[in-house]
Each structure stands twice: as structure tokens, then as C-alpha cells.
A and B are shown apart, each in its own frame.
Chain A
Amino acid sequence: MTKRGLRIRCFLGAVVILLCCLLPNTASAVLKRGSSGDEVITLQKKLKAWGYYTGSIDGIYGSATVEAVKYFQRVNGLTVDGVVGPATAAALGMSLSSSSSSSSSSSSTSSGDTYLLARCIYGEARGEPYKGMVAVGAVILNRVKSSQFPNSISGVIYQSGAFSVVSDGQINMAPNETAIRAAKDALNGWDPTGGCLYYYNPSKTTNKWMLSKPVVITIGSHAFF
């Protein structure tokens, strides 16, 4: 190798090292092995709460976190690569780096609200026709708009006694893509019930108050009024 060649190689090596110094400073829109920070903490908390992760919540994306993310991806039909990209983040109900949310207006919803709505729909209406799943979401949103019920999606869902999936824990199951899509369609305004605030399953309920009300529409196994 010529001396000139050696010079060039040294120079290139220096440039490469300099460039490598700059890389860690760019914000990433994915979380993967080696990431650290608040978003990793949020990720680990969620996975731990749902039983996918058993390690400590240390904000460091190590091999235990990778395994947990892969487990989550496997169960939820996502590409199993151990990396939290947009699809996995959406399924987790997280938004990464870029988008910020929140205004104080009561009509704004965060991606967390969408995911909570999807979980409630999944718990209450999985197995129902798609229209029935959107209808459950629409009932929740109609309650938010009504003066008689709490003024937020989480307030309506967690109101004591309102939804059985809250008291029996089914609301903590991860929703499938159909439920997530149903939640988004309901948030977009599709209301197959025409404004209903209540629903019940006629073959399962003995609740006299509900059975006494005139039914507006029946979709699948739910009667709405």
C-alpha cells in the first residue's frame, strides 16, 4: 500500500469517527435495543402491567425488554422483530417522539384515549359484527357528549358500574386490529345507533330497568336504546 493510500485511510477513519459522534444525538422514531429514556420507561410499564415483561422498570432497552416486545408482537399479530416502530407503538397505545397532543378542549382525544376505547370495545363486543363493535364505541362517545354522563372517554368508561369489562378486568386485554379500527371509525363520527346511550344483551340480562326501555336498534347480540 502506498504512503498516500495510508494517509487517505487515516483521514477517512477520522471522518467516520467524527460522524459516529454525531449520530447518537439525532432523535429516533423507533425504540430498540440500546434506546433509553422516558419512552422506554413508559413501554416497560405497559408491558409489565399486561404481563409481557417481568424485569425491572429501568428505562434501558436491553435483552429482557427485547424479549418482552417480541412476545407482545407475537401475541398481537405484528412483525416479530423486537423493535417498537409505528405499528407496535400504535398497538401499545404509545406515540413516539414526534407528535404531541393535548389541548384543554373537551373534544380532543389523545392516542391513549383511542386505545382505551378500543380496549373497551374489544372487551364488550369482540365476536360481534363490525357494525356492533363501532356501535359500542358510539355509545361511549354519545355519553361523553351528553350532559348526564362524565365529560371524557376515560370518565365514561371507568364510571362505577357502567361497563362490566371494567369490573371483571377484561378491559385490560390487548385489543385486536378490528377493535382499533372500530374505535377510530367511532371517533370519526360513525354512529350506527343514531344517538343511543345504553345497550344490553337481551339473552343475558335480567335487569328490569333496561328491559323496560323501547329498543332503537338491535345489532348482533346487543339491543341499543
Chain B
Amino acid sequence: MKKTAYIVAIAVLGVGLLVCVGLLTSSYAQLSDKQALLNAANEQIEQANSRLSETDDAEGGNAQSSEDSSSVNFERLYRKVGDDINDMCNTMSKLEVAASPDRTLLLLADLWRLSGSASAALSELPEAHGNVGELTSFITRAGDYAYALMQGVLNDRPLSADDTEQLSKMKEYCIKVSESIESRLESGQLPTDFLDADGFYCETNESEGLSDIPTLIYDGPYSETNELLEPLADLGGEVSQDEALNRAKELFPDYEASYESLCNGRIPTHDIALSGEKGEISLSLTKMGGLPLYFMGSPVGNRNDAPNDEETKRLHEAAQTFLSEWGYGELHPSYAQYYEGSVVINYAAVQDGVVLYSDLIKVYVDRESFEVFGMDASGYCFCHRQRELNAPSLSQEEAQERLSLLIEVESVTLTLIPKTRSTEVLCWEFKGKKGNDSYIVYINAETGAEEEIFLVINSEEGDLVV
């Protein structure tokens, strides 16, 4: 009995040692392979470094060569922009005669891809903003427009007469730009020096014959209508500086309030500085209506780790109490982030049981003191209004049938999500998991289309949605 026990123990010891040795040698082998590769790479880096330092040391002739290489790079970029825009013109010509939705779709996809490539190259040119800004805007919108048209074709909406007219105007303009770049390349009139701020921000004359950029009318993230969008909510009548100051004192009775300035941004605000025992707070009240657009103090600590369940509950309670004290109606908490001592919880307004995701209020709660030290209601102030909500055409079960079978559904909510900055769509929101990945999928409650798929990334800072 004793003997066998000894033998077993020694056998186990022996196996253990063998396994250890095996692992060590395999990782050592890997290491020495990697070491060899790295040594080779290091040698190359050293050689390149010594070449560079040689050019630094030499005068005159070598400085010239590095200037040449950057001007060569800029010439390449100009040619790329010219080529891409030229290809866009050709694609648009083909679109004029594409008879099937399939071919139309593929050509629109090409147009979208070329616009992305051209605008990326444009962003690297050493051109003054005045010269390149409008052109970048046009190229970006052209691609954006192509993407919107693609979505139309996929939903059985072929190109309309207005669309073909816009495309032909786009083509005319692209031909002009392409010819202008070509002639500048040939005559060598290209800026080849890296710009400084004075070069970038300067008065420019009307670029030769490149004015009259056509306005593209469509609905997309970069469209002109969406970039210049006015607030959709009716905030109320104009509020004077004094009224704003009084309102600030009502909201923060423990602080001294002093008026700072008027901000004429997208939503004009009265900016007020508050100071008290607990610190300083910046507050902005909307000029129309005197509503709090945001206020921000600073958190006490700077913890970065995730709050535990009990802390999370307390943080939510603190935020909810604050929101009801300030008179906001029913709100639905969605995701939260935590960083640098603060926890940011996102709340969306609710109407008739439908969560309105555009009407967002972010509440910043201090990790240490569980007090609310900041709030951002810009989404809410911009968008909140009574919506006309129809009952969904698809029931929850019918919508769930449109969902990928791979997702294990954990919760379902009826929501109104923004499709572009000016349109919204009623959707069934399904939150679920596939393996270790968490997803949020929005199924259109009228058509059953998959409007959006979001991946939830559990990062160190909370659940980020991409």
C-alpha cells in the first residue's frame, strides 16, 4: 500500500515536471522565433534611423530631397482626388442608363465608396480651409446622397425624376472640378508646403470657376437641411438676462450666481457661473424658455472601476430623485458610463409607453458622494415635443419573427428612434445575447425592417453602444 502510494506520487510529480518542461520549451521556441524576427526588424529600424540622421546632418542638398518627397506625396493626393472624382462622373453617367435595380444599387455603392476615398484624400491636402471646405462638403454630401438612394432602392423606391436631375447636376459639377485639378497639376500650380494656421484660416478668393456648387436635397446625416436644423421643441418665450439669473438662483439656492454671457450657439443660452461651498458649477439656461440646457460641476474623486450592484442602485435613485425634483416627467434609463469619478446615466422621455430616444437627458452622479453634479439636456431641449404615435402594425411576436434566430432575447421595449436628424421611426427594441456578445436590434414596427443593429461593448467604462 505504501509503495504504490509512493509510486503514484512520484509518477504525478514526474508528469508535472514533464508538462512544465514541455510548456517552457515551446514558449521558449516561440520566443526565440519572435526574437529573431524582432532583431531583424530592429536592424531595419536602426538602418532607417541612421539614414535619417545622415540626411539631418548634411546640409543643402539633402534638405531639398525631403522637401521633394513631401511634394511628391501631395501630387499623389491631388491625382487621387482628381481620379476619384473622374470615376464618380463615369459612375453617374452609367447610372443614367441603368435599367435594373440591381445594377443601380451597385453603381450607387461605387459612388458612395469613391466619395469616401476622395474626401479622405482631400482632408490631407495642404489647402486653405476656404478652398477645400466647400468642395469637401459637396463630395461628402454626394456620397451621403448615394447612400440614401441605396436605402430607397432596397425598399423598392427607385430613383425619381428629381433624383436623376440632382445626379446630373452633381455630374456637371464633378466634371468641372476634375478638369480644374487636371489643369492645375499640368501647370504645376499646387501648394506643396505644409500649412500653418495663418495659411489654413485665411481669406480666399472665389476658386476659379468653382462657385455655384449645386445644393443636394435629400435626408441624410450631412445634408444641408440637417446641418442647419433648428430646435424641434417649442421651448417657450424669450427670457431676459435678469429672469435667467433669478431662475438660476431658484434652481441652485445654495450657490452665488453671477451672469457670464450670452452664447449664440445652435440653441442660444444665458451662461451663468455658480459658486458655493461645494465648488463651482457652469450653468446654461436656454434663451427661449429659460430651461436648463446643461450644468456641470466636478466630481470629488476620480475612480474608474465599475460600481457594484448596491452602488448602482443608489446612483440610479439619486438620479431619479433629482429628475423628479426638477419636474421632468416619466423617463426611462438606458445605458450608463463610468469614468474619472463620475457615473453618467442616460434617460429618455416616455410617451404612452413608447421610449423617445431622441429626447435624452444625461445625469452625472458623483461616485463618492452620490450627488448629482451635472446634467446635459441638450437632446431633450432640442427634440422634446408631443408626438403623434400610431399603434404599431406589427405585434411584438410578429416583430420577433424578423429577428435573427441566433439572438437570445432578454428584453423588449417599444421605442421611437431617430433615423436621421429630422425623421424618426417607431421600432420594437430587442435586447439580447449571442454567446458572449450583447446586441440591441431595432425592428421597424410598421414594416418589420431591421432598422439598426447595435453591438454593446462592455468596456472598462461601462456599456458603450456602437
Residues of B within 8 A of A3 (CB): 2
Q: Establish whether residues A195 and B266, one from each chain, have CB atoms under 8 Å apart when the complex forms.
A: yes
Given known pairs A10-B9, A20-B20, A160-B125, the reply for A146 and B227 (CB within 8 Å) is: yes
Looking at the complex, which of B130-138, B157-165, B166-174, B441-449 is the stretch in contact with chain A?
A: B130-138
Q: Establish whether residues B265 and A147, one from each chain, have CB atoms under 8 Å apart when the complex forms.
A: no
Residues of A within 8 A of B262 (CB): 217
Partner of A181, one of B8, B221, B339: B339
Residues of A117-149 at the interface with B, using a CB-CB cut-off of 8 Å, are 130-131, 145-149
Residues of A within 8 A of B20 (CB): 17, 20-21
Looking at the complex, which of B400-408, B422-430, B451-459 is the stretch in contact with chain A?
A: B451-459
Q: Establish whether residues B265 and A103, one from each chain, have CB atoms under 8 Å apart when the complex forms.
A: no
Interchain CA distance A11-B9 in the complex, whole Å: 5
Partner of A147, one of B41, B137, B264, B269: B137
Q: Establish whether residues A160 and B376, one from each chain, have CB atoms under 8 Å apart when the complex forms.
A: no
Convert A1-22 into 0s and 1s, putting 1 for each residue whose CB lies closer than 8 angstroms to a CB of B.
0010001001101110110110
Residues of B within 8 A of A180 (CB): 340
Q: Establish whether residues A21 and B16, one from each chain, have CB atoms under 8 Å apart when the complex forms.
A: yes
Q: Establish whether residues A13 and B13, one from each chain, have CB atoms under 8 Å apart when the complex forms.
A: yes
B460 at the interface (CB under 8 A from A): yes
Interchain CA distance A177-B303 in the complex, whole Å: 11
Interchain CA distance A175-B392 in the complex, whole Å: 50
**Across the two chains, which residue of chain A brings its CB closest to B38?**
A58
**Across the two chains, which residue of chain A brings its CB closest to B2?**
A3
Residues of A within 8 A of B13 (CB): 10, 13-14, 17
Residues of A within 8 A of B120 (CB): 150-151, 155
B434 at the interface (CB under 8 A from A): no
User: Could you tell me the distance in whole angstroms from the C-beta of B43 to the nearest C-beta in chain A?
Assistant: 10
User: Could you tell me the distance in whole angstroms from the C-beta of A165 to the nearest C-beta in chain B?
Assistant: 10
User: Could you tell me the distance in whole angstroms from the C-beta of A204 to the nearest C-beta in chain B?
Assistant: 10
Q: Establish whether residues A155 and B457, one from each chain, have CB atoms under 8 Å apart when the complex forms.
A: no
Q: Establish whether residues B227 and A161, one from each chain, have CB atoms under 8 Å apart when the complex forms.
A: no
Residues of A37-65 at the interface with B, using a CB-CB cut-off of 8 Å, are 56-60
Given known pairs A86-B460, A210-B201, the reply for A18 and B264 (CB within 8 Å) is: no
Residues of B within 8 A of A26 (CB): none
Q: Pick the most buried of B20, B130, B378, B466: most chain A CB atoms within 10 A of its CB.
A: B466
Q: A56-B38, A147-B140 are in contact. List 11 more A-B contacts (CB 8 A).
A: A17-B17, A103-B466, A130-B296, A147-B137, A148-B129, A150-B123, A161-B200, A181-B339, A192-B284, A194-B264, A198-B201
19 A-B pairs whose Cβ atoms sit less than 8 Å apart in the complex: A14-B12, A18-B19, A24-B27, A58-B42, A59-B38, A99-B458, A105-B466, A145-B221, A151-B123, A161-B194, A161-B196, A163-B197, A191-B378, A192-B263, A194-B263, A194-B266, A217-B261, A217-B265, A218-B261
Residues in A lying within 8 Å of B, measured CB to CB: 3, 7, 10-11, 13-15, 17-18, 20-21, 24, 36, 56-60, 86-87, 90, 95, 99-101, 103, 105, 107-108, 111, 130-131, 145-151, 155, 159-164, 167, 177, 180-181, 184-185, 188-196, 198, 200, 207-210, 214, 216-218
